[in-house]
Structure 1
């Protein structure tokens, strides 16, 4: 019996040396393509065939894929089958399976190594810098696809041919051949799943999650027998843990928003970095909307919503938006100027709405959300006007007497009123021209609103001023700004440049 075992060993080793098992695992770019990622075997049902000893099933080549499924020459496979049959009959089936499994296991280990997948322990993965891990994840995705779509099906086919008709020998040998490689693949994914929840990791963890999702049918197909049940269950468990990791990353994003301090105000009432970061982050995340829907539907800890029609992902996104807006409202209070506070909120809310409208976020949050927050922008605009321009308009407002207006409890003559207007307008222009409205459309809307608010009042005031008895023919001495000057300088507001109001020359 030792002679048969040695003959079996020499034959399988010689077959491996003389046969080119894989010419290429990819399409030339190191990536699997949709057209060539599926293994194509004989289309007919194996159960319908009555194979004789010399008619063992033969795998077909992949179409549009430079890979040969048969890992050994057909003649050697037939010889191995004959020896295996004799060893099983003589009671040496375990020895035969051990020899076979040892050799093929080495082949898989070498294949994974050539694909760039190293044997990393959990501790080694946790200690790696994220940039290094990103490279390892890319290698893992390639190796996992090749293994599940090509290598493992090839080994399954080879086992079925060598141990055809020999009971459970095929299933046991296949499990022994593939177990180490499967564990190596799953251990890396598991190490990522239980690792850091830093928000920067989301997109690569999503890549892992989606790869595992796409490969679950391959796990089910390749490891369908009872001996491989533990491998299937492990794969399913790690896929679910990757989903848990994604939910954990979103929780960490929430914490990041909550903890972002309200320190120095953003200069000129501009866009806050946290707004830009969160909105671009969510937009990028929602490109994987289908995967995120799947992840959050599995969660039992999603923030409750009054609207039961919203998906779990929609609820999650709505909650993050509420956290962001609450954080911005706290930051707005740092500004000592109420008008500048309104400009800050206007800028950030506008950015939020625009990012929502032109992305998947709009579909998740819905039209009602967009309308509600567009209305908030208008509220901030009105607040800005009230806090900065009402006092100025109070100076200009019509009065039953052309001689005086009551401002601050004091009676003012027409001359005092135009002096007060000149001073206040110059002060507003000087400060507000340094403030910024980053969105051109919003900037123009605000300028037009101010123009329609100020110009009619100023025009009426100038007409009354020129006819006032105490002014007479000397009106031009007091009128610092023409109507054209006012319009020009309103159109220079919110450019973020140093302003100096200049009247008519």
Structure 2
């Protein structure tokens, strides 16, 4: 027993000995087990000792290895369900919220490190761009997808601005060497991230720019194909769309749908926010430039240079003016208001950009049209151009008051000055042309009288011209009022008429009234025409024929004035009564000069000889009557009285003067005389028929 105890003592040190030798003797797990076994009952201890002696730990170790092997084989089978569970991809919506929160919280912080989810967000945005750029997703197919795409681009832009600010602030900070070294790594990382964001943004903006261009072109081509104008260029309103009533609608011109405008606005907003203003504006400007070109072509208007206008014949240029007028009105009343509304809707968040685009586009078209007006005004003056010039003047005049509604405030004054200048130039030329009527009348000094005393061509021309001019009475009165100094030019610029040199106190009370400059000019033209006709009447050898000439022209003038309310209003009732009195005077003079001698043949004066009428004398009287009447018929049947009323009045008065003698010595019976009188003033000789009757 002692031996055993000694052996045990030698084999298993005591605790205090073990503690004392801890630093010198390695600590063995087997010894720990022996220590623990010693504390158990003897039976178990012996068993454990037997196991240790028989090498059971090695067997258990092998058994453990086999169990581990079995577990190793079985583990994949048990873990297989876990490998089938896919990890969900990063959620763009969730990552976008993180981005928004990050930007909001760190907007003014230049020390915050960029979190990893920023790269995840950029990966998702790149994937979305690839889907659109690769035609997997088309713009307009899904409003939700389009909005998500634009929101992603918006966050990319914000990230780029944020990083740019951080890097710029880092460059400006006065840091010590240690702080610079610490932030150098972050700065390099941020710069690399900024480069990546820039590439992504550039790709996104390139896609948006192309989509913006396509939307602009699709709307332009659709509008181009629609027949919104009739052949004369008059605007025809397009039918309203059948969709729900839009909140804001663009006018029929430029023809963009509400959906197209909405998409264009969204794209433009992101492009301008991302710093791609020039690219977006360039696409818009080019598209609208060609759209306006299409519209001008549709109206038949083609740009004509100033040199080409100066070289054109008036007949050709005259045909261009109505097209110009229609085009100008179409621009002022339809195109420009529609264009301003369109650009305002597309660039709603950037009104200054919208104004610039609108101004650049409409300024070109406006000045192009004004250059044509100026060019026409610079052509050689001619009377036949007056009315087309007044039409152009009226078009510009009616547009000037509305310029504030057509153009932005910063260029209204410039456009108004140019338009007013062109208008005044046209008005000035119109005044000069009208005043040159005096010169045209004065220069008509031909020495060949009109055959048969008919209405002189000058009279027809002047009266028809004045009648048309008075249809523009209101415009001409305005023009003459604005250019009264031109009307009162030096005496060398126009001929004087009788009474023009009288002072104000010598003029009639009618002239002292507040007469418009145009009415005064019209009166001068009429007085000058009268003077000219009086001179032409003196070219006739027969006084009676000169009276017929003055009656013909006088009646023509009165009828033209009475037939036009505008010119009658200008000339007035007093003037017309005066002319009617002059006509009666010419009529009376004609009767005396023509029928005075022939009537003396029928007078008993000189035939009474002591109460008897000598037959030879009576016979001679009748013979003279026959000869004179035949001569009058022969001559005056070639004269012309074109006015039927005047012709009838003359014939009736002649019949009343000529006595209807039925004596046998008068070869013309009363009925014959009336018939022959009815043949007067037809402009056709009838003396041969009279000769046959005489035979």
Please indicate, yes or no, whether the TM-score normalized by the shorter chain is above 0.5.
Answer: yes
1:382 alignment partner in structure 2: 588
Matched, 1:135 2:319: yes
Matched, 1:353 2:558: yes
Matched, 1:497 2:681: no
Partners in 2 of 1:370 and 1:493 — Cα distance?
28
1:216 alignment partner in structure 2: 400
- C-alpha contact 2:251 2:338 (8 A) present in aligned 1: no
Shift in alpha-carbon separation, 1:72–1:272, aligned structure 2, 3 A: farther
Partners in 2 of 1:377 and 1:167 — Cα distance?
71
2:537 alignment partner in structure 1: 332
- C-alpha contact 2:377 2:426 (8 A) present in aligned 1: yes
Matched, 1:452 2:656: yes
For 1:324-473, what aligned pairs fall within 5 Å after superposition? 324-360=529-565, 361-399=567-605, 402-403=608-609, 413-455=617-659, 459=661
1:158 alignment partner in structure 2: 342
2:131 alignment partner in structure 1: none
Residue 110 of structure 1 and its aligned partner are, at CA, apart by: 4.0
2:29 alignment partner in structure 1: none
Match of 1:13 among 202, 209, 213: 213
Shift in alpha-carbon separation, 1:296–1:24, aligned structure 2, 3 A: farther
1:32 alignment partner in structure 2: 234
Shift in alpha-carbon separation, 1:70–1:152, aligned structure 2, 3 A: farther
Partners in 1 of 2:376 and 2:267 — Cα distance?
41
- C-alpha contact 1:283 1:359 (8 A) present in aligned 2: yes
Relative to structure 2, which stretch is displaced further, 262-271 or 391-400?
A: 391-400
SS at match of 2:658: helix
* TM superposition score normalised by structure 2: 0.60
Residue 343 of structure 1 and its aligned partner are, at CA, apart by: 0.6
SS at match of 1:480: coil
Shift in alpha-carbon separation, 1:15–1:95, aligned structure 2, 3 A: closer
2:130 alignment partner in structure 1: none
- C-alpha contact 2:328 2:369 (8 A) present in aligned 1: yes
* TM superposition score normalised by structure 1: 0.80
- C-alpha contact 2:261 2:345 (8 A) present in aligned 1: no
1:291 alignment partner in structure 2: 475
Matched, 1:226 2:416: no
Partners in 1 of 2:585 and 2:594 — Cα distance?
14
Shift in alpha-carbon separation, 1:125–1:296, aligned structure 2, 3 A: same
- C-alpha contact 1:15 1:72 (8 A) present in aligned 2: no
Residue 252 of structure 1 and its aligned partner are, at CA, apart by: 3.2
1:45 alignment partner in structure 2: none
SS at match of 1:371: helix
SS at match of 1:450: helix
Residue 341 of structure 1 and its aligned partner are, at CA, apart by: 0.7
Partners in 1 of 2:546 and 2:282 — Cα distance?
75
- C-alpha contact 2:382 2:433 (8 A) present in aligned 1: yes
- C-alpha contact 1:485 1:504 (8 A) present in aligned 2: no
Residue 401 of structure 1 and its aligned partner are, at CA, apart by: 5.9
Partners in 1 of 2:234 and 2:297 — Cα distance?
18
1:315 alignment partner in structure 2: 520
Count of residue pairs the alignment pairs up: 457
Partners in 1 of 2:476 and 2:259 — Cα distance?
43
1:479 alignment partner in structure 2: 666
2:371 alignment partner in structure 1: 187
Deviations 1:9-59 (A, max 9, x none): 4343222222224555754243436x969xx9xxxxxxxxxxxxxxx9843
Residue 380 of structure 1 and its aligned partner are, at CA, apart by: 1.1
Partners in 1 of 2:578 and 2:370 — Cα distance?
46
Shift in alpha-carbon separation, 1:366–1:72, aligned structure 2, 3 A: farther
Partners in 2 of 1:484 and 1:29 — Cα distance?
62
Shift in alpha-carbon separation, 1:190–1:220, aligned structure 2, 3 A: farther
Shift in alpha-carbon separation, 1:382–1:110, aligned structure 2, 3 A: same
2:506 alignment partner in structure 1: none
- C-alpha contact 2:626 2:668 (8 A) present in aligned 1: yes
Partners in 1 of 2:258 and 2:424 — Cα distance?
33
SS at match of 1:18: helix
Partners in 1 of 2:515 and 2:424 — Cα distance?
23
Relative to structure 2, which stretch is displaced further, 345-354 or 240-249?
A: 240-249
Deviations 1:220-255 (A, max 9, x none): 321141134312221122122222222222123332
SS at match of 1:449: helix
Deviations 1:374-393 (A, max 9, x none): 11111111111122222333
Residue 84 of structure 1 and its aligned partner are, at CA, apart by: 5.0
- Answer 1 or 2: higher relative contact order, Cα 8 Å, separation at least 6: 1
RMSD: 3.3
Shift in alpha-carbon separation, 1:280–1:26, aligned structure 2, 3 A: farther
Match of 1:254 among 405, 421, 438: 438
Partners in 2 of 1:276 and 1:350 — Cα distance?
12
Residue 121 of structure 1 and its aligned partner are, at CA, apart by: 1.4
2:420 alignment partner in structure 1: 236
Shift in alpha-carbon separation, 1:30–1:80, aligned structure 2, 3 A: farther
SS at match of 1:208: helix
Partners in 1 of 2:416 and 2:209 — Cα distance?
30
Deviations 1:104-128 (A, max 9, x none): 3343334323433222211110101
Shift in alpha-carbon separation, 1:484–1:150, aligned structure 2, 3 A: closer
- C-alpha contact 1:105 1:178 (8 A) present in aligned 2: no
Deviations 1:81-112 (A, max 9, x none): 3135415xx5x766765564344334333432
Residue 71 of structure 1 and its aligned partner are, at CA, apart by: 9.7
SS at match of 1:216: helix
Deviations 1:360-384 (A, max 9, x none): 3222211111111111111111111
Residue 181 of structure 1 and its aligned partner are, at CA, apart by: 1.2
2:263 alignment partner in structure 1: 76
